Structure 1
């Protein structure tokens, strides 16, 4: 196993951090943690995300092995997204980060106005 050090400027782990710390990546991974979902279901569940941003986020997560895209043979045709095993391994830290944000937003907003 290769050791990575995020304090080094050329460490590939920085790219990984950039991928998984993006707001939309966190929200999409959290949403898919509840189970597979079709594109429209994700869009409806995630308030404020544009079609373009959802598509880009899903593509980036899929390209990095966190999300699996599956074509559905339905009428009309559809697409379903689900977390891979690697994506599932990300759920604990991502959900913890999301919970922390929800629980501490008021304190952060108070600090900004002080």
Structure 2
């Protein structure tokens, strides 16, 4: 009887491990866009230039800045800023567009930006 219980336990653990590796994420089913890396232009405000290298126009849904800055203790910290695109969101084929971002009023070390496009 104990052998049967051990066998059932091993079989169920094996079945659960196989199931966990074969499960699809639900995000991929509703995924209808892609991420495009942009170029940060430094100035009084950080701006993000998005290039469209494809043969179809794209629409920028939102864009994100990853800003590395020096904190008050001298270490480097990360701040993320998200912006929804509301005006002039379409980028024509083989063209670029610049999107405004946050103020560049701190001790910014570096920044990067990316956009979610459809």
TM (norm. structure 1) is 0.26
Greater per-residue helix proportion: 1
Report which structure shows greater RCO (CA 8 Å, sep ≥6).
2
TM (norm. structure 2) is 0.25
